[in-house]
Amino acid sequence: MPEQMLGIRDVLAQNLKINRRSCGLTQEKLAEKAGISAHYLAMVEVGRKFPTPEMLDRLAGALGIETYKLFEMPAAPEDALRLLRQDIVTEIEQLVVKAIKETLAGVRKD
């Protein structure tokens, strides 16, 4: 079975999520920085909405990247694997930080 090609919405959604997570931002924080609603950002990240060029510039600016980077596709499977690993590591780091903060908050209450 041939590999399914990603559409432009899929590429944008994937890159937006990867870049947001690599910056350590939640959807709410990125939405705030870009001046949009978190719901709208969530819809873009799942490919249900497609931003205007101006909105793409605002999102890229909030992420500290050039707009075209939101549409870059990995050149090889190894690059895709590297991005996936990076995404997983970032998510684990965020979960650990959250767990530590929650643990410290519980200790302070005791």
Distance CA 107, CA 84 (A): 35
Q: At what angle are helices 53-63 and 8-22 packed, to 10 degrees? A: 30
Can you give the pLDDT at residue 31? 97
Can you give the pLDDT at residue 1? 33
Q: For the chain (length 110 residues), average pLDDT per consecutive 10?
A: 66 92 94 96 94 96 96 73 80 90 81
**Is the pTM of the predicted complex or chain greater than 0.75?**
no
The token duo for 72 is: 């870059």
Helix (H) or strand (E) holding 24: none
Tokens 């767990």: give the residue. Answer: 99
Can you give the pLDDT at residue 87? 79
